[in-house]
Amino acid sequence: MTSTSAEFSALAPYGWDESWAEAFAPFEADGLLPGRVVRVDRGQCDVVTADGNVRADTEFVVPRDPMKVVCTGDWVAVDPGGDPRYVRAYLPRRTAFVRSTSSKRSEGQILAANVDHAVVAVSLAVELDLGRVERFLALAWESGAQPVVVLTKADLVPDPVTLAHLVQDVETSAPGVPVLTVSALHGDGLDVLVALVGSGTSVLLGQSGAGKSTLANALVGADVMDVQAARDVDGKGRHTTTTRNLLALPSGGVLIDTPGLRGVGLFDAETGVGQVFTEIEELAERCRFQDCAHESEPGCAVRSAVENGELPQRRLESYRKLLRENQWIVAKTDARARAELRREYRRKGAEGKAALEAKRGRWA
Ligand SMILES: Nc1nc2c(ncn2[C@@H]2O[C@H](COP(=O)(O)OP(=O)(O)OP(=O)(O)O)[C@@H](O)[C@H]2O)c(=O)[nH]1
Ligand SMILES: [Mg+2]
Ligand SMILES: [Zn+2]
């Protein structure tokens, strides 16, 4: 069975296509309804379907694994009958943003799924923190989406030379990533962003107060998202946006607005980190030793690039810091996985022993 044309016309603005329909076919055969999650809060989600918006419980697809929790951007199979309705399954994700939840528990948390463009919003109202930009970009690359950096509130940097320098600094920290400047206040630079988010699904990421919801409203052309009242408190105070919201854009494309992230912990993002620091990884290929740590080894191409001013020292330090952090998370996750495995073995071992004793008992 294939997806109906009603489904196509209702869901196409949200990104439904032939290949999603194909992935959905087995669920269609079971009489389930396809839809995209536009918002999640506390075990429930809003799903846009051909029957309009439905609120559904996600209970059935949550086997206590935070990576398997339905999230905004997921394509899901909803039980059409029943009260409450249930999300029965989600389709395999094309991309997923994962961060580590906290430093104590090494768990991944899915921020958004099936995203094509990751728009990292960075406010020009506060001092540029390139390390933070790099961290966001590592997360973005790791997800499988193409990142773009948007420097917001460009109206606050009226001097074009200063603005150009800021853009250049970010570009140096973001190889392969377009860097745009926009002012939602004046509308400057919005056309470039409109073109970029006009296809596929984009997610707005960044600190609280960076101007993500202001951009979302500008792109939607209506005040659909609440915006922070005072504009001089970037990154501080209350988060204005508290849920992740998926919006269909009038000129095509889908946008997910997210709550500001104060800290983004990496979660198994080594590939992503590598993509943020491609120039360092390229230099490293020319180091004399293949496993060069770029510290005191002779013939280190990375250190000599720093010495001759080709590579900023800050970049190398940031690279090391993110790699270290990532290795630590991976080690911790592995340790946790190993501990779980040990528990499992012990449990199985105990079962096995009990079975053996029962058997012996029978023969005794
Ligand atoms: N001067 C200026 N201020 C802006 C611009 N865009 C946004 N702001 C202000 O920045 C503040 C924060 O904007 P929001 O859009 O709420 O920020 P956010 O990133 O969505 O914040 P959270 O939802 O908390 O993550 C608001 O007071 C906006 O008016 C801009 O282009 N220029
Ligand atoms: Mg917001
Ligand atoms: Zn080296």
Q: Enumerate the domain spans of the chain.
A: 5-90, 96-257, 277-363
Q: Cβ(7)–Cβ(74) under 8 Å?
A: no
- The topology (CATH level 3) of 277-363 is Ribonucleotide Reductase Protein R1; domain 1 (1.10.40)
From 190, 193, 231, give the residue whose CB has the most ligand 1 atoms within 8 Å, as the site to mutate: 231
> pLDDT tens, position by position, for the chain (364 residues)?
445 788 888 999 999 999 999 999 999 999 999 999 999 887 789 999 998 899 988 766 655 666 678 899 999 999 888 777 888 889 999 999 888 766 555 677 788 999 999 999 999 999 999 999 999 999 999 889 999 999 999 999 999 999 999 999 999 999 999 999 999 999 999 999 999 999 999 999 999 999 999 999 999 998 888 887 765 555 555 678 888 899 999 989 999 999 887 767 777 788 889 999 999 999 999 999 999 999 999 999 999 999 999 999 999 999 999 998 888 777 777 666 666 656 665 665 565 555 555 555 544 3
CATH number assigned to the domain covering 5-90: 2.40.50.140
Are the beta carbons of 257 and 249 closer than 8 angstroms?
Answer: no
The Cα–Cα gap between 42 and 49 comes to: 20
One-letter amino acid at 238 equals: R
Superfamily, domain 96-257: P-loop containing nucleotide triphosphate hydrolases (3.40.50.300)
Q: pTM for the complete prediction?
A: 0.86
Answer yes or no: is the C-beta of 106 below 6 A from any ligand 1 atom.
Answer: no
Ligand 1 neighbourhood includes 235 CB (under 6 angstroms): no
